[in-house]
């Protein structure tokens, strides 16, 4: 029996969803959204899939792969229902995974009646701050009203979409306050090449994902400026120290609890390492262009992808000021991205303070 037949046979013998999650929908078809679609459909879950571009919808319907991202990944037609009608996805699905870049997420959410989002299990795979509000997705939804935080979860890595496409061993962390729901979605993702873990630290894992993208831009700059591995190891160490202090201070000031998150785990440190060092990292790529002398505008156009750290750098300035938490390295990267300070000048200053 060939691989395609095995998949069809498996689909006929497995329930495509469970009572806790209901029907699953994915919003967004970038590389990460496509990787998530692959994991779930490989695990015998059918998905509704919101894709903005009608051409991409037609391609998925007729050729069963994404024409723009992770093009080597193919889907069984029985497992995907691509559409550019967001209302159709929300009316059909109990669990919605949001994978659009943070820069567009708020616009997507607000493009339909707010009532359509109510009562849904919302899973954030954004790894960014919504730039129009300078909020994490859950804080924005709560600010918008009638949102149950117990129905919210966040997915973090360390996990590159490209390695998921190649079925290389990867790790995902699912953070949520409702253990039953969090465990259900973690189980939906678990397979031979995806290992999952859970925790309750919704805010911490998301802020860690936001900060690591900013720091990865700096790592790319350092690489392009020919600083070498010795310096980069010191830079990453200092980035983690800064991240740790932010997470600890934010936890104590804003979301105090008797449960102490373990920040020295893969969702925090591991995700920083892979984003800072990997050639798959689009944030590191953006930093590399900047270190080579490209303007921010030209670098972004050259990439033709969204680097979440670009908007995150600005958003974290607002958040750090609001909570009175110093972020000197993140602030230095912000100065390059938003105030046109030279990367070489910034790293000459960082040389003197890193330890």
**Does the predicted model carry a pTM greater than 0.85?**
yes
User: pLDDT category, 18, cuts 50, 70, 90?
Assistant: low
Mean pLDDT of the 277-281 span: 89
- Among candidate residues 292, 334, 295, the one with its CA nearest the CA of residue 312: 334
Residue 234 and residue 175 share a domain: no
User: CB–CB of 93/121 below 8 Å?
Assistant: no
Please report the pLDDT score of residue 62 as a whole number.
Answer: 93
Residue 238 and residue 191 share a domain: no
Whole-number Å distance between alpha carbons of 346 and 331: 10
Whole-number Å distance between alpha carbons of 297 and 287: 12
Out of 136, 166, 200, a domain closes at 200
Residue 213 and residue 116 share a domain: no
Residue 340 and residue 268 share a domain: yes
What is the length of the chain? 355
User: pLDDT category, 14, cuts 50, 70, 90?
Assistant: very low
In the numeric block, which tokens belong to residue 51? 């894709």
Residue 187 and residue 278 share a domain: no
Residue 242 and residue 182 share a domain: no
Tokens 């465990």 label which residue? 183
CATH number at residue 67: 3.40.50.720
Residue 251 and residue 185 share a domain: no
Which of helix, strand or coil describes residue 176? strand
DSSP structure string for 233-291:
HHHHHHHHHHHHHHHHHHHHHTS--SS----SSIIIIIHHHHHHH-TT-HHHHHHHHHH
Residue 153 host element (H or E): strand 152-156
Largest CA distance in the chain: 63
- Among candidate residues 217, 203, 216, the one with its CA nearest the CA of residue 259: 203
Tokens 């200092």 label which residue? 238
Whole-number Å distance between alpha carbons of 247 and 203: 9
Q: Point out the least confidently predicted range of 147-161, 183-197, 251-265.
A: 251-265
Please report the pLDDT score of residue 7 as a whole number.
Answer: 43
In terms of Cβ atoms closer than 10 Å to its own Cβ (0-12, 13-18, 19+), residue 197 is middle
Please report the pLDDT score of residue 228 as a whole number.
Answer: 93
Tokens 């980069």 label which residue? 232
How do residues 167-184 score in pLDDT, each as one tens digit? 999 999 999 999 999 999
Please report the pLDDT score of residue 124 as a whole number.
Answer: 97
Q: Beta partners for 98?
A: 27, 124
In the numeric block, which tokens belong to residue 273? 């390492």
Out of 155, 173, 200, a domain closes at 200
In the numeric block, which tokens belong to residue 125? 């795979």
Supply the range of the domain harboring residue 255. 204-353
User: Higher model confidence: residue 1 or residue 19?
Assistant: 19
**pLDDT averaged over the chain?**
91
Mean pLDDT of the 270-284 span: 92
DSSP assignment letter at 77:
G
Residue 329 and residue 246 share a domain: yes
Whole-number Å distance between alpha carbons of 290 and 302: 11
Residue 256 and residue 291 share a domain: yes
Residue 259 and residue 338 share a domain: yes
Residue 284 and residue 189 share a domain: no
User: CB–CB of 284/297 below 8 Å?
Assistant: no
Mean pLDDT of the 188-207 span: 95
β-strand pairing of 152-156 with 170-176: antiparallel
CATH number at residue 268: 1.10.1040.10
Please report the pLDDT score of residue 4 as a whole number.
Answer: 39
Out of 200, 227, 257, a domain closes at 200
β-strand pairing of 152-156 with 121-124: parallel
User: pLDDT category, 11, cuts 50, 70, 90?
Assistant: very low
Whether residue 1 has pLDDT greater than 60: no
How do residues 36-84 score in pLDDT, each as one tens digit? 999 999 999 999 999 998 999 999 999 999 999 999 999 999 999 999 9
How many domains is the chain built from?
Answer: 2
Please report the pLDDT score of residue 33 as a whole number.
Answer: 94
Residue 86 and residue 230 share a domain: no
In the numeric block, which tokens belong to residue 254? 């804003």
How do residues 218-264 score in pLDDT, each as one tens digit? 999 999 999 999 999 999 999 999 999 999 998 888 877 777 888 99
Whole-number Å distance between alpha carbons of 165 and 163: 5
How do residues 290-349 score in pLDDT, each as one tens digit? 999 999 999 998 887 778 999 999 999 999 999 999 999 999 999 999 999 999 999 999
Tokens 């024409």 label which residue? 67
Whole-number Å distance between alpha carbons of 351 and 270: 24
């Amino acid at each position: 029996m060939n691989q395609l037949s095995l998949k069809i046979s498996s689909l006929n013998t497995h329930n495509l969803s469970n009572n806790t999650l209901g029907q699953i929908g994915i919003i967004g078809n970038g590389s990460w959204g496509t990787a998530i679609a692959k994991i779930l459909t490989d695990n015998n879950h059918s998905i509704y899939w919101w894709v903005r571009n009608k051409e991409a919808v037609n391609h998925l319907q007729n050729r069963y792969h994404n024409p723009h991202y992770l093009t080597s990944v193919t889907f069984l037609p029985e497992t995907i229902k691509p559409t550019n009608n967001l209302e159709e996805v929300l009316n059909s699905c109990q669990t919605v995974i949001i994978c659009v870049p943070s820069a567009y997420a708020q616009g997507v959410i607000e493009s339909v009646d707010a009532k359509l989002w109510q009562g849904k299990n919302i899973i954030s795979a954004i790894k960014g701050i919504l730039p129009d509000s300078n909020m994490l997705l859950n804080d924005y939804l709560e600010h918008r009203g009638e949102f149950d935080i117990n129905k919210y979860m966040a997915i973090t890595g360390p996990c590159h979409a490209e390695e998921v496409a190649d079925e290389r061993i990867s790790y995902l962390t699912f953070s949520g306050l409702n253990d039953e729901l969090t465990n259900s979605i973690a189980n939906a993702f678990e397979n031979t090449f995806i290992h999952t873990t859970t925790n309750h630290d919704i805010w911490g894992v998301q802020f860690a994902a936001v900060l690591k993208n900013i720091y990865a831009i700096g790592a790319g700059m350092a690489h392009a400026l020919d600083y070498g591995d010795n310096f980069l190891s010191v830079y990453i160490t200092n980035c983690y120290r800064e991240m740790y202090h932010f997470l600890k201070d934010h936890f104590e000031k804003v979301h105090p609890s008797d449960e102490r998150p373990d920040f020295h785990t893969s969702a925090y440190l591991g995700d920083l390492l892979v984003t800072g060092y990997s050639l798959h990292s689009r944030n590191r790529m953006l930093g590399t262009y900047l270190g080579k002398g490209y303007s921010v505008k030209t670098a972004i156009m050259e990439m033709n992808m969204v680097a979440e750290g670009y908007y995150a750098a600005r958003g974290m300035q607002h958040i750090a000021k609001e909570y009175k938490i110093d972020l000197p390295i993140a602030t230095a990267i912000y100065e390059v991205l938003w105030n046109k300070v030279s990367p070489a000048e910034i790293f000459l200053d960082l040389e003197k303070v890193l330890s």
